[in-house]
Amino acid sequence: MAEIELKTAPADFRFPTTNQTRHCFTRYIEFHRCLAAKGENSGECERFAKYYRSLCPGEWVERWNEQRESGTFPGPL
Amino acid sequence: MGLLSCFRSTVLRKCSKGSSGMSRFLYTNNFQRNLISSGGNESYYGYFNRRSYTSLYMGTGTVGGITSARIRVPNVGCEGFMCSSHLSITQRNSRLIHSTSKIVPNSEIQNITTEMVKTPEVSRWMDQVIPTIAPCDAAEPWQLGFQDAATPIMQGIIDLHHDIFFFVIQIGVFVSWVLLRALWHFRSKMNPIPQRIVHGTTIEILWTIFPSVILMFIAIPSFALLYSMDDIVVDPAITIKAIGHQWYWTYEYSDYNNSDEQSLAFDSYMIPEDDLELGQLRLLEVDNRVVVPAKTHLRVIITSADVLHSWAVPSLGVKCDAVPGRLNQISTFIQREGVYYGQCSEICGTNHAFMPIVIEAVSTKDYGSWVSSQVN
């Protein structure tokens, strides 16, 4: 069995309010910007991936992935 | 004022509540009459188990008659410490409730209730000293006040309510006194010709300054508690996503993913009334519970997939709207292990009353076992 580590996305002072929609969106964009800058095989981007997976619902991530593949993602990647 | 009393001992408060509950049970004739007439039906077991009287009597040994009765309370879900022992063997999306008892014949129940009526005074005194602490947090039948607090925020809410209620009673009594006195002393029989009072500078100053001072005494602890709920400063250890659907909740634990597809996600449906087992609560039990570690900072992200819902658990003092397209965040810190019940609190359609929330707070080790069994 893999060891379970109690760790999640930290609190971000850019998003101090109850509304965390932009926090999830921003973490997702940060991950893909990191991929574009450092390449797909780099291990440094895994940290950002864990952040957006913790914050974003699965359905949102699935829809955003489809939009990225079809080129209609609205964010600044 | 309200916040400082947050740090009062919740165990002390709970002990006193348990004691009053016990004495209420023993001294009320209606309960004895109802228990004797109820025979072996479910409500007897449910009520009995929720108060955990059996374990207390068997433990002390002061009442020999009840000890020899050998009644066994069903091992149902609302006892958190029993459920935690099952967590390591729980399979994915399986029910966490295991009923291992058999139904006791009516004659034994009759004997038990008869023995309870004859409880000697020594045992009653012992019950006051060693009260029972109920491990299950759900509203009692016709409960009007707050449920037991499990978080510092809920403790603060209860204390703030008590503080404000003190002012409310005082102001209500004083204003009623002034009103009745005016009605009495200025009635037409005593004053045929009404007076023409134009102005009074002193009383104008008084009834402007005093309400302001009272409002300040109410507002300062209220604002302190309100802003302490926004504890963005503490980094949480766990993030749980609660997604409202018509008419169930979906929970996602995504801290342990290695890809976008692999996710610990499950739906939480209410157990229908026909499928309830002995001791389970009507309209409150679910098939898959939210398992969280106690004494750990949690982040719950609440959203909806269709219409507005509201994720509310009274014992934790949390209530947050689930809005489609928006992620609302609440932070909480559960201080004791147990099972806490809540319900959807925003009208969301026909089955709004049938989408409950059950949170089981366990130790960190048991939580790790549960996650390991779910993820792998």
* Per-residue pLDDT tens digits for B97-118: 333 333 434 443 444 443 333 3
Q: Is A56 helix (H, G, I), strand (E, B) or coil?
A: coil
CA distance B264 to B7: 35
Largest CA distance in chain A: 40
CB B335 within 8 A of CB B150: yes
Which of the four pLDDT bands, split at 50, 70 and 90, describes residue B203? very high
Q: What is the CA radius of gyration of chain B?
A: 26
**Residue B328 touches chain A, beta carbons under 8 Å:** yes
Count H helices and E strands in chain A, helices first.
Answer: 3, 0
Contact list in A for residue B232 (CB cut-off 8 A) is 11, 13, 16
Quickly tell me which residue has 């792998």 as its tokens: B376
Q: In which band, very low, low, confident or very high, does the pLDDT at B190 lie, cut at 50, 70 and 90?
A: confident
Q: Tell me, what's the pLDDT at B263?
A: 78
Closest residue by Cα to residue B95 from B103, B104, B86: B86
CB B244 within 8 Å of CB B303: yes
Among candidate residues B105, B151, B83, B121, the one with its CA nearest the CA of residue B295: B151
Instruction: Give the residue-averaged pLDDT of B323-340.
Output: 93
CB contact under 8 Å between B243 and A57, yes or no, is yes
How far is Cα A13 from Cα A43, in angstroms, rounded to an integer?
25
User: Does the pLDDT value for residue B75 go beyond 90?
Assistant: no
Q: Where are the domains of chain B?
A: 150-188+199-228, 236-371
Closest CA–CA distance from residue B225 to any residue of chain A (Å):
16
B227 at A interface, C-beta within 8 A: no
Q: pLDDT higher for B65 or B128?
A: B128
Q: For residue B290, give the nearest of B247, B249, B332, B331 by alpha carbon.
A: B249
Cβ contacts of B236 on chain A, cutoff 8 Å? 8, 11
Q: Averaged over B363-372, what is the pLDDT? A: 91
CATH number for the region B150-188+199-228 comes to: 1.10.287.90
Whether B323 has its CB under 8 Å from any CB of chain A: the answer is no
Contact check, Cβ <8 Å, B255/A8: yes
Determine the Cα–Cα distance for residues B40 and B186; give it in Å rounded to an integer: 64
Cross-chain Cβ contact B239/A20 below 8 Å = no
State the pLDDT at residue B90: 35
Cβ-contact B62, B123 below 8 angstroms:
yes
The radius of gyration computed from the CA coordinates of chain A, to the nearest angstrom, equals 13
- Confidence grade of residue B233 (pLDDT, cut at 50, 70, 90): low
Could you tell me the pLDDT band of residue B303, with boundaries at 50, 70 and 90? very high
In a domain, A43, yes or no: yes
Q: How many domains, chain A?
A: 1
Report pLDDT for A14.
Answer: 87
* pLDDT for the residue B221: 94
Contact B264, B252 (CB under 8 A): yes
At residue A2 the predicted structure's pLDDT band, cuts being 50, 70 and 90, is low
Count of Cβ atoms closer than 10 Å to residue B269 Cβ: 17
- Over residues B74-81, mean pLDDT: 39
Mean per-residue pLDDT of chain B: 72
- B150-188+199-228 and B236-371 agree in CATH topology: no
Q: What is the CATH number of the domain that holds A58?
A: 1.10.10.140
B254 in contact with chain A, both atoms CB, cutoff 8 A? yes
- B134 vs B251, more confident: B251
Three-state DSSP state, A7: coil
Q: In CATH, what class is B236-371?
A: mainly beta
Q: Is the pLDDT of residue B30 over 50?
A: no
Instruction: Give the integer Cα–Cα distance in Å for B69 and B109.
Output: 9
Lowest mean pLDDT among B37-46, B123-132, B281-290: B37-46
Structural domain including A62 reads: 19-68
Write the residue in A6, A53, A62 that is nearest to B257 by C-beta: A53
Q: How many CA atoms lie within 13 A of B273 on its CB side?
A: 5
Most confident listed range (A16-20, B141-145, B309-313) = B309-313
Confidence at B225, pLDDT banded by 50, 70, 90: very high
pLDDT at B223 over 90: yes
Q: How many Cβ atoms are within 10 Å of B215's Cβ, its own excluded?
A: 11
Chain A residues with CB-CB distance to B295 below 8 A: none
Is residue B301 a contact partner of residue B238, using CB atoms and an 8 Å limit?
no
Closest CA to B250 of B293, B297, B303: B303
pLDDT of A63 strictly over 80? yes
Question: Are B14 and B146 spatial neighbours (Cβ–Cβ below 8 Å)?
Answer: no
- Does the structure show a pLDDT above 50 at B40? no
Q: At a CB cut-off of 8 Å and minimum separation 6, what does A6 contact?
A: B237, B238, B255, B293, B296, B364
Name which of A20-29, B16-25, B156-165, B278-287 the model is least confident about.
B16-25
Q: Is the pLDDT of residue B239 over 90?
A: yes
**What would the two tokens of residue B132 be?**
């029972």
**Quick one: pLDDT at residue B112?**
40
- Phi, psi torsion values for B312, nearest 5 degrees: -130, 130
Q: Percent of chain B, pLDDT > 70?
A: 63
What is the rounded distance in angstroms from the CA atom of residue B193 to the CA atom of residue B215? 38
Beta carbons of B327 and A24 less than 8 Å apart: yes
In three-state form (DSSP H/G/I as H, E/B as E, the rest C), the secondary structure along chain B is CCCHHHHCCHHHHHHHHHHHHHHHHHHCHHHHHHHHHHCCCHHHHHHHHHHCHHHHHHHHCCCHHHHCCCCCCCCCCCCHHHHHHHHHHCCCCCCCCCCCCCCCCHHHHHHHHHHHHCCCHHHHHHHHHCCCCCCEECCCCCCCCCCCCCCHHHHHHHHHHHHHHHHHHHHHHHHHHHHHHHHHHCCCCCCCCCCCCCCCHHHHHHHHHHHHHHHHHHHHHHHHHHHHCCCCCCCCCEEEEEEEECCEEEEEECCCCCCCCCCEEEEECECCHHHCCCCCCCCCCECCCEEEECCCEEEEEEEECCCCEEEEEHHHCEEEEECECCCEEEEEECCCCEEEEEEECCCCCCCHHHCEEEEEEECHHHHHHHHHHHHC
B89 neighbourhood in chain A, CB within 8 Å: none
In a domain, A9, yes or no: no
- Does B244 have pLDDT greater than 90? yes
